[in-house]
Chains A and B, each alone.
Chain A
Amino acid sequence: MRRFFRLVKNEYIKNLKLVSTWVMLILTAVAAIGLPALARIAYYFDAEASHGDTSDYDWTIADYLDSMMYSAEGTSDKYYIDIMNDLINSGAESTYDWRFSVTENLFYSAWDKADEQVYEEYTEYMATLPSWDEENYMLTDPEDAQKASDFLNGKMDETFKAVWKTDEYAKPMAAVMANDMKAYYQLNIDEANSRLSKANTEYDKQMADLDIWYYTYLRDNDVYKCTAEDYMYDFLKDYLPQYYDADYQNATELYNTRKAIIAYENADKGSPDQISVGEYKSAVNKYAVYNYMTENHIETNVADEERDTLWSPFKMSVALVTFIGILVVVIAAHSVASEFSNGTIKFLLINPVKRWKILVSKYFTVISMGYIMIALTFVLSLITSAIMFGAHDIGAMYITASGGEVSAVSGILYMAKSYLLASTSVVVMATMAFAISVLMKSSAFAIGISMFCLLSGSGIVLMLQSMGMNWARYLIFANLDLASIADGTSSFMYQTVGTALAVIAVHMVVFWLIAWDGFTRREI
């Protein structure tokens, strides 16, 4: 073993004294550092584009009212402005304050309700006017129209006031004015409980149960009620964190997913709308994931496309493994062929070391250098990503579910696994380059063929597949992407990791036999 490592040391020295090796190592490092840096720059400009100047988004309620140019002439506008001014006086400032959107929703809900109540009286009144055109449902005389409008406004005025004073609106508004979120949640729980007691169908019952769970969770965990649209969450996290709560986001996702599930499961028990089987299956998994996240109050799931965390660029960095593959192929091809082309093969083989040992030492060197470069990329990408996006959620988990079963692994571990899976093609292509360079004694040839295979192999497979050639699934290129085979997202149906590994093993054995036979029996 000690003698073997002396051979490996020779190979390492030969490689590390080459300028080209250092160029490759530096390129790898630049790529590993550059990718997260680029992602940061892209995110910055993209954030600029989607949020604009942040002051454009950071509205106060007063600004909002001004900009809406409410005329204060229409009845609805008048009440709206009055209510909002009350809210401002009670201390609410930002439009991202929970009180603002709750108040707005309550107002519109009450207004609609009043409108509904007044509507019948209004149509009856219109029918009594002389210019009423029954057929076209309109008043032809402008005077009559003015009368009808005045009648409606007068009716709405009193009706809305009455509705606004009912418990349904007065109670939540009281909670809002007192800035008492818990009380607000409690009202929702009470409402759901009363619905539960009156529920006739299984569907209604489950929906009421869900509401009870949801508001109880929000109440018991002191969750801040975020009111922004989903796409604004990143903006809130970055600029107005006081109005953001990850628990709210997760619980709401869970709530909505659960709603869809209940609708599907009660398809014949009074459910209003349904989703497809596929959507149902993914909803079940999504539900399991969010259930895990809400229970454990997890903010970042590595499996999500969260652009503002270190995980986004770090996940992208897996693609660099293919780039490393190119470099390793070059090293592999050069390792044997250069000995022949420089004539140093005689210098190497004139020693009391069996040829296969020299071959193994070369192969070991090539593969280990590949893994060193992969590890270097892993570490540099992680560090740079953490510097660019903050290291606070470096301990985040990769949470997924399959068949409703949650699995959560450390994000770092998940990434290590991704890198290892991606390295399969590097090893296979390096082995191929190695075999070709032994066989042809030409590094150019070996680099050319292996590079072609590495870069266009999957394209060729896709082409063959689109031409209906199913046997292409047994080609090596169709079996290198172990990650997507494991996920079931590979180009051929029903590929399994087991068969992929078998195909890879067969190819590796063939490559090795070629290299072994070619090198140990070569006449020099």
Chain B
Amino acid sequence: MENIKNEVAVSIKGLNKTIGKRHILHDISFDAYSGEVFGFLGPNGAGKTTTIKMIVGLLSIDSGEISVCGAEIKKDFEGALKNIGGIVENPEMYKHLTGYQNLEHYARMREGITKERIDEVVALVGLSNRINEKISKYSLGMRQRLGVAQSILHRPKALILDEPTNGLDPAGIKELRDILKKLAHEEGVCVIVSSHLMSEMELMCDRVGVIANGSMLGVYSINELLAASAGATSDYIIDTDGGKKAVEIIKGVTENVSLTDDGLVEVILDNNTHREDIAKINKLLIEGGAAVYTVSLKPKKKLEDVFIEMTSDTKEGGQIA
């Protein structure tokens, strides 16, 4: 998986954007590499789409730098855009043209796209049977597929998709995921996918950049996030009639023990030794004459919760910034 990931495909440094009086992006910086699927994660209104629009040249750059495969967008617009493919927001096409005519329209704005390539891509996204119908007859899912076809038509080195799973059925989502993974891992494309769903990112991405309220919270690999959610300890709840006596007994094993309001005993054990420790505690309690009714492992935090924890701003009371 890590074999092609070597060079920086999209590099963003100190990006700022103010629209009207609102300072929308604060010093956004991250690098996305060739051969990886980079998740761009954030709640609604965090600035994902704004950032993406700046990468594809739809919005101007107030300050900061965006380079695509070494070409800086401000200085060499055509050079930078040549290597980018993308969908921003919904894939809007010319409704009075057919899918094929839309792709031809796109092909004429770029260099070296052959008819064979168009057919190949159409087949890849599974639209071969419907490509000669007008877009006005397409469902949202079909338009999403056509959007993907258009964005990869010219074999871009960086593919930027804004919430590409919108409107896709579960099978479609899986297909798309497979296509993107294949592009990144086998063809060395840098794929940047934005989403507000951690669960989706988890299945698709190698790394995730988290953005909230226009600021970058950090870039993490999925493995790091999984570990973070797993934590270093396991939390056990013991239902016993021992009460304070039981706490005293357990303190012989670990100091991390407390009595809850319900009279249950909560024990936090190191992950490395928690199995042995809990067996030992159980044994000591029984030996100490306490009746043990249940011993249960408290459920772990999900990745989703980690994300919400990271991005929620309690001061704002959940309002979109």
Contact = CB atoms under 8 A, between A and B. Distances in A.
Contact of A353 (B53, B78, B93): B78
B108 A9 contact: yes
A161 interface: no
A165 interface: no
A142 interface: no
A13 to B, nearest CB: 7
Interface stretch (B32-40, B95-103, B121-129, B167-175): B95-103
Interface stretch (A132-140, A168-176, A342-350, A483-491): A342-350
A414 to B, nearest CB: 41
A334 B88 CA distance: 23
Contact of A349 (B57, B78, B82): B57
B95 A7 contact: no
B58 A349 contact: yes
A18 B58 CA distance: 26
A347 B101 contact: no
A350 B101 contact: no
Contacts of A521: 60
Given A350-B57, A350-B81, A7 B109 contact: yes
Contacts, number: 76
Interface string A343-374: 11011111111100000000000000000000
Contacts of A351: 81, 106, 109-110
Contacts of B110: 351-352
A230 interface: no
A392 interface: no
A265 B296 CA distance: 128
B60 A13 contact: no
Interface string B65-89: 0000000000001111110101011
Contacts of A350: 56-58, 81, 84, 86, 88
A7 B104 CA distance: 11
Contact of B92 (A6, A10, A347, A352): A347
A10 B97 contact: no
A371 to B, nearest CB: 23
B170 to A, nearest CB: 26
A434 B101 CA distance: 25
Interface string A6-18: 1101100110011
B78 A354 contact: yes
A220 interface: no
A6 B111 CA distance: 11
Nearest to A524: B58
A348 B56 CA distance: 11
A354 B109 contact: no
A7 B110 CA distance: 10
Contact of A346 (B77, B92, B105): B92
A344 B86 contact: no
Contacts of A19: 96
A342 B90 CA distance: 11
A524 B59 contact: yes
11 contacts: A10-B105, A10-B109, A14-B96, A17-B96, A342-B92, A342-B94, A347-B93, A350-B56, A353-B109, A523-B59, A524-B53
Interface of A: 6-7, 9-10, 13-14, 17-19, 342-344, 346-354, 521, 523-524
Pairs A-B, 7 closest by C-beta atoms? A343-B92, A352-B81, A351-B109, A352-B78, A524-B58, A6-B108, A352-B82
Interface of B: 19, 53, 56-60, 77-82, 84, 86, 88-97, 101-102, 105-106, 108-110, 150
Given A17-B96, A347-B93, A521-B60, 14 more contacts: A6-B109, A10-B105, A14-B94, A17-B101, A343-B89, A343-B92, A346-B88, A350-B57, A350-B84, A351-B81, A351-B110, A353-B78, A353-B81, A353-B109
